[in-house]
Structure 1
Amino acid sequence: MGCRERAAKSDLLRIVMNKDECVPDHRGTLPGRGAYVHPALHCLDLAVRRRAFSRAFKVQGALDTAALRLHVERTAPQ
């Protein structure tokens, strides 16, 4: 979603909606529509800037991505 590069599903992070917040789905088992992004800050930032999550989840307005950003910061390779 962010950088729009193709990758294997196992290399991507699945994101789902939980109320009005985007949360990571580590195991890929949470219910609902999923969106995939590389687990890197630059890719996440591009997706937020392009409002890709709003389009993917078919909602209007900004979504809270704070928890998602924290998760990516903790798990991204340095």
Structure 2
Amino acid sequence: MPKVKKVPLRMCIGCQEMKPKRELTRVVRTPQETVEIDPTGKKSGRGAYVCPSANCLQKAIKGKRLERSLECAISPEIIENLKQGLVK
């Protein structure tokens, strides 16, 4: 009997839905206290997952869920950078 590989699930902080980790984008607070997008999902630091859509990112920012998840204040410049990098 073949082994079935387990698909890791993560919750989007915008829409609050559980989705496969590969479908979500990781936003990370690095040890240097910078907030950036982690395309590899392997950078060290505190991470939060969000769907790659403007709607989910807006919900996460408006509800202060991103700040709560990353445990740091997020400046408007960083929010703009996230919007540019996340939404294609």
User: TM-score higher than 0.5 here?
Assistant: yes
Match status 1:5 vs 2:17: yes
Deviations along 1:19-70, one digit per CA (max 9) or x if unpaired, are 56531100012110110000100000000000111101112x4432111100
Runs of 4+ that moved beyond 6 A:
none
1:32 to 45, 49, 56: 45
Go from structure 1 to structure 2 and tell me whether the alpha carbon gap of 1:21 and 1:67 turns closer, same or farther (over 3 Å shift). farther
State the TM-score, normalizing by the size of structure 2.
0.73
SS of the aligned residue for 2:19 comes to: coil
RMSD: 1.6
Greater RCO, CA 8 A, separation 6+ = 1
Match status 1:67 vs 2:84: no
Which runs of no fewer than 5 residues in structure 1 stay unpaired? none
Deviation at 1:14, TM superposition (A): 0.4
Go from structure 1 to structure 2 and tell me whether the alpha carbon gap of 1:51 and 1:39 turns closer, same or farther (over 3 Å shift). same
SS of the aligned residue for 1:7 comes to: strand
State the TM-score, normalizing by the size of structure 1.
0.81
Q: Percent identity between the aligned chains?
A: 29
